[in-house]
Amino acid sequence: MKVLITGAKGQLGRGLVASAPAGTELHAVDIDECDLTDANAIRDLVQKVSPDIIINAAAYTAVDKAESDEETARAINAGAVKALCEAHHGKLVHVSTDFVFDGQSSRAYQPEHPRAPISVYGRTKAEGEDHLRASDVLVRTAWVYTAGGANFVRTMLRLMCEKPALNVVADQIGAPTWAPGLAATIWGLLSKDASGTFHHSDAGTASWYDFAVAIQEEALALGLLDAAIPITPITTADYPTPAARPAFSLLDSSKTRALLQDGHTHWRINLRQMLREEKTLG
């Protein structure tokens, strides 16, 4: 099986490369090898590699910057998906986001729930989804992090070392997602020759405040932090940002888990594993 992975240097991309099944012929590329704002470059790449499967793990994820850079966000999040579908006649696995929903639900979002994005990032990701074909796989996820990546966990660790106290938003609810677990789900869906829309995040529920408190507790236990600092819950209104965020973005992963029959690991267990890896990295 020949697989082309875009966004190979990102958090998910690195996880996909590290966990590829034996016998997989990988072609892992990032922006330095293919400009995803250039449809011709995408076409040339697909023709050159001639993959059986493409996993599109690349995205424009600068949520706030997208509000003033909509053209680039749309080119990467939507235009690149269109170009990949036009150039490739095999299966495409495309990774999307909880931001395609408006956050007004009181129950975890199921794959078929109507989308209503409230930001440029969310709208461009929803547009990208619309280019997929019936035989393709759409995997939505949220709050992704991994050891060594640019993410909330590592930002919190840095700030907990630098600041005497932190304020963290407590009225945005979802579930963190450890990138290696997401990568395993994607490979699992491919092993089942799945098609359609699936959700993946870790089990459990958290606010960003809950997540920050857990990061501090687990990091202290592992010796990654020398001392605890006060963490105060605040509202979204207390921390205005250019882009609106969904207040509730929990994803229902039951369809995914039923197909893969692989259980559902709680986010705190995966956080602990990630922090162990972070400690190993130094």
Rounded to a whole number of angstroms, the distance between the first and last alpha carbons of the chain is: 36
The span from the CA of 112 to the CA of 132, in Å, is 15
- Tokens at 254, concatenated: 């039951």
- Tokens at 234, concatenated: 């605040």
CA dihedral 233, 248, 64, 225 (to 10 degrees): 40
The span from the CA of 259 to the CA of 183, in Å, is 16
CB 128 within 8 A of CB 94: yes
CB 143 within 8 A of CB 178: no
Continuous H helices in the chain: 11-18, 39-49, 70-74, 80-87, 120-129, 152-162, 179-191, 208-222, 254-260, 267-281
The DSSP output letter for 226 is: S
The span from the CA of 146 to the CA of 275, in Å, is 9
Question: Exactly one of 121, 145, 209, 239 is catalytic; which is it?
Answer: 121
- The amino acid at residue 191 is S
- 121 included as an active-site residue: yes
Task: Name the one residue in this structure whose structure tokens are 């997401």.
Answer: 182
How many CB atoms lie under 10 A from the CB of residue 280?
9
Catalytic residues, by residue number, are 121
